[in-house]
Amino acid sequence: MQPETTVESKADVAARLRRDLFGFDEYRGAQADVIAATLAGRDSVVLMPTGGGKSLCYQLPALVRDGVGLVISPLIALMHDQVRALQELGISAAFLNSSMTSAEQQAVIGQLRSEQLQLLYIAPERLAQSATQAMLRELRISVIAIDEAHCVSQWGHDFRRDYLTLNRLATLLPDTPRMALTATATPLMRDDIAAQLELNSPELFISGFDRPNIRYAVETKTDPRRQLLGFLGNHRDESGIVYCLARKKTESIAEWLCGQGFDALPYHAGLSAETRSKHQRRFVNDDAVIIVATIAFGMGIDKPDVRFVAHLDLPKSIEAYYQETGRAGRDGEPADAWMAYGLQDVVRLRQLLDSSDAEAQFKRHEAQKLDALLGWCEITECRRLPLLRYFGEENAAACGNCDNCSSPPATWDGTEAARKLLSAVYRTGQIFGAAHIVDVLTGRSTEKVNANNHDQLNVFGIGSDIDAQVWRSVVRQLVVLDYLKADPARFGGLTLTDKCRPLLRGEITLRLREERRQPALRKKPARKSGAVSDADRALWDALRERRKELAKERDVPSYVIFHDATLMQMMEYRPASLDAMLGLNGVGPSKLDRYGEAFLEVIRNADPIA
């Protein structure tokens, strides 16, 4: 029997595998500390931003410790991609899920029992099965990784009841270190994750929530399709995601984008499983596909070169927004997060919340989270700072990169305008929505205004000196500042709050954000690793084309062959031998053996640099 190695020697083995197998010269962020804790047999809660290297935190300990690593993941597509990527590295990995035939599942179980596997991916619902629990008791499990762990928290934006059964692992495999991983968790959620999973005195590792390569920008809706097209002007021939609230909207926007010359596909829960899978594979495998999706799309998408995430409707919370936008720029290169929103988005989301069967406490909590996101949309400070504060990260510096930093919004004395608007809401009975109130203020004699005799009120036309678009902005900001409530039960009818009394009595003044006539200047950010020069363009295109060919041959996403960052290094350094190529980040012996000559051939055939 092999003698037990020390924690120190296991750490050395992990470092060697990191370099030789995965091709990384060093650890990032808290990776080294997380791996050390797991090798020592301790439980942990790991918070790392998307693209921060969470998977390496459990993959390396699984390879070093005795037994098979168990990875619990909520999505079949993610399992498939991660297992294929590991197999490309020569690692023995498999998954068990409902997409497999009985024979396929039995084959994997046979591999497990004969100790041929190093990593096994399963869905959380499978752990509820007594047969699975009995099988796990028979096996030597090296480490348990619970991915997307925020799904266990009822305070989170993506609660999944199946995750609540994962606390059984505490008694089922009491001597196996467990690791809960997520990119999205507030301080309240972190405590809830540890409690719900019954982790044993877990160590908390936080690598930070900042994604400095993502540029945030928000616009108020005026002409959403025109605004989206303007944003996409900087992203032709690039991969991205456009989020919409309604299924029909994803289909109409995807069809419209195709008419504008983009390669766009819809994705929502109403499509067949076959269609969803087909569209997801196209997005993951190809270089310039846009997915137009509801929130049903995205969790676990392991595509590093998503260059933008756009929202045509308001998400449900800051957590949801952070996670959805976090799917951009996983490779560390510059990416854009853009959103167009309007008050109607808020009304629609509150209608959905009020009509749900959730408990009152949960509804109040969700309403507060929506208010927090709405407030974030209307801020005048750096957009990154309140995002980080929301997740408990204080003392960050302004990013200098978001729309507010690049083009600071002006403010104006909105005291008198606010009083006029509040008076109009009160005089019309506190039952009408924003559009009607703006019509009254600007003196528009619509059929609805005349039918209610609102053209006879003393507030009719008192705001005709202000543009209707500006009035809509005033309404949004007064809702954000809690002077007004938009009642979803009455289709967005506006009502006054107690907070408005001092303002109406003239006891306080109010400064409002000035409505932008043009969106903040949108410049296409330069690639961090350097833009591709004209001299290098032919080689860059040839390297990407060779990668695409190999990916198609092996039926894997392009990034499984090599990430863009690795191709960028090939283009920049032009290695002339396999030994030289081994020095590039992301090139380990396994990939070198499998793909090295194919890419060296491309480099040798390239025109020399003048």
- Residue ranges of the chain whose pLDDT lies below 70: 1-8, 156-157, 296, 298-300, 488-489, 516-531, 609-610
For 557, the token pair is: 């996403």
Q: Which residue has the tokens 């500390």?
A: 33
Question: Hey, is 92 helix, strand or coil?
Answer: coil
pLDDT for res 250: 96
262-to-178, 267, 436, 546 alpha-carbon distances in Å: 44, 16, 37, 23
pLDDT for res 1: 33
For 608, the token pair is: 């020399």
220-to-338, 480, 513, 593 alpha-carbon distances in Å: 11, 14, 12, 52
172 neighbors 137 (Cβ within 8 angstroms): yes
pLDDT for res 531: 62
For 107, the token pair is: 């084959």
Exposure string of 80-119, with b = 16+ CB inside 10 Å and e = fewer, is bbbbbbbbbbebebbbbbeeeeeeeeeebbeebeeeebbb
Interval 218-246: pLDDT, tens:
998 989 999 999 999 989 889 999 999 99
Q: What is the pTM of this model?
A: 0.75
Q: Which run of H or E residues covers position 451? A: helix 447-451
Q: Which residue has the tokens 């991969």?
A: 239
Exposure string of 472-510, with b = 16+ CB inside 10 Å and e = fewer, is bbbbbbbbbbebbbbbbeeebbbebeeebeebeeeeeeb
From 232, 271, 305, select the one nearest 560 (Cα to Cα).
305
Domains of the chain: 7-206 (3.40.50.300), 214-406 (3.40.50.300), 411-513 (1.10.10.10), 534-604 (1.10.150.80)
pLDDT for res 529: 47
pLDDT for res 488: 64
